[in-house]
């Protein structure tokens, strides 16, 4: 039954999303830091690897009804594909200011192997980025990922339901993420929030 398939997809994705969020919480990381000490430097890499594994498990286990929501034909499929490519370029541009090795957790491991314990390895060492595309939206990677996933020439029910789940999760996840960023960057980030939209650029900053 289609309804049960949809409930199954949403339920399994929710398990992935909740697990992903809990593992990113400061409370969990502090508890692990108590036990691991300097080896907490390996946690970011572990978190990323397990996130990929959990998502792959979701993809493999989730019901796939095989129902087509839409299937665009020429020239609309080409137009949609062009927008998808542009969205992918947007992801690359948005990721450019980020230290991807730090994001992946590799630099933390290197620091640990070279010099031992570093108390700052509980979190990423990333500067607050407010220039470039970040002047217009606080989470451009989320925006362009949503566009990349949404601009699809053909969409089946599994993909469509998963896409909706991803959009909701990005928005809810950004709320939790920004609480951590407020704690990390303080007033500077709070001012940034006041002047810059979250994911969708509904308002344009004055003077830009």
Domain boundaries, the chain: 2-195
What pLDDT sits at residue 121?
65
Q: How far apart (Å, rounded) are the C-alpha atoms in residues 25 and 74? A: 46
pTM of the model: 0.90
Contact 154, 68 (CB under 8 A): yes
The residue assigned the tokens 């199954």 is 8
Instruction: Write the CA distances from 58 to 64, 119, 163, integer angstroms.
Output: 11, 34, 13
What pLDDT sits at residue 72?
95
Q: How far apart (Å, rounded) are the C-alpha atoms in residues 64 and 155? A: 12
Task: Provide the angle, in degrees to the nearest 10, between the axes of the packed helices 106-115 and 43-61.
Answer: 150
Residue 113 CA, chain-centre distance (Å), reads 28
pLDDT in 10s for each residue of the chain, 208 residues: 899 999 999 999 999 999 999 998 888 988 988 888 888 889 999 999 999 999 999 999 999 998 999 999 999 999 999 999 999 999 999 999 999 999 999 998 998 888 866 666 677 788 899 999 999 999 999 999 999 999 999 999 999 999 999 999 999 999 999 998 998 899 999 999 988 999 988 764 443 4
What pLDDT sits at residue 1?
82
């Amino acid at each position: 039954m289609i309804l049960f398939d949809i409930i199954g997809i949403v339920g399994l994705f929710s398990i992935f999303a909740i697990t992903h969020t809990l593992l990113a919480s400061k409370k969990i990381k502090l508890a692990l830091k108590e036990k691991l000490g300097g080896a907490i430097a390996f946690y970011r890499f572990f978190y990323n690897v397990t996130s990929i594994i959990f998502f792959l498990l979701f993809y493999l286990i989730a019901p796939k009804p095989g129902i087509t929501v839409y299937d665009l034909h020429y020239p609309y499929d080409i137009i949609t594909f062009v927008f998808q490519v542009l969205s992918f370029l947007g992801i690359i541009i948005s990721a450019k200011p980020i230290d991807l090795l730090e994001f992946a957790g590799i630099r933390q491991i290197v620091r640990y192997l070279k010099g031992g314990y570093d108390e700052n390895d509980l979190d990423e060492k990333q500067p607050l980025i407010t220039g470039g595309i970040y002047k217009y939206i606080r989470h451009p990677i989320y925006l362009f990922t949503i566009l990349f996933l949404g601009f699809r020439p053909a969409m089946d029910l599994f993909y469509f339901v998963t896409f909706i789940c991803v959009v909701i999760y990005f928005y809810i996840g950004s709320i939790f993420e920004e609480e951590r960023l407020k704690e990390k960057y303080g007033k500077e980030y709070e001012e940034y929030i006041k002047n810059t939209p979250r994911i969708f650029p509904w308002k344009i900053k004055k003077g830009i």
